[in-house]
Amino acid sequence: MALQMQYTANSGVVAQNAYIYIQSLCEMNRESLSVQLAIYYTKENKINNNVPIFSAVYTFKPDVSDTAQNYRKQAYIFLKTLDIFASAINVLEEGQPA
């Protein structure tokens, strides 16, 4: 899974189909999960191992209950609550269930 949206980099470059991908998750403790993400100009740039146009780290409190979604899904849901990613759409990989 990933997110896709129009994104304007600090340099002013506009990526019409920017590809937002979680590179790693780090459980700090039961109260905090760190999300390292990268924004690529396109999905193809990510596939071809090009350098991202932006990267950042965000932190949120995950749901650790027995019925909770996995951390990666929770992280994408969290990212979409942030103003910067509010307009992003989900991008599912081939064969990935919704």
Q: What is the pLDDT along the chain (98 residues), one digit of tens a residue?
A: 999 999 998 889 899 999 999 999 999 887 899 999 999 999 999 999 999 999 999 999 999 999 999 999 999 999 999 999 999 999 987 665 65
| pTM over the 0.85 mark | yes
Residue 77 has phi, psi (to 5 degrees) of -60, -45
23 belongs to a structural domain: yes
Residue 22 has phi, psi (to 5 degrees) of -80, 120
Q: Which neighbouring-strand residues pair with 20?
A: 3, 39
Q: Which residue, among 56, 69, 47, has the nearest Cα to 24 in the 3D structure?
A: 56
What the block records as the tokens of 44 is 């193809």
98 belongs to a structural domain: no
97 belongs to a structural domain: no
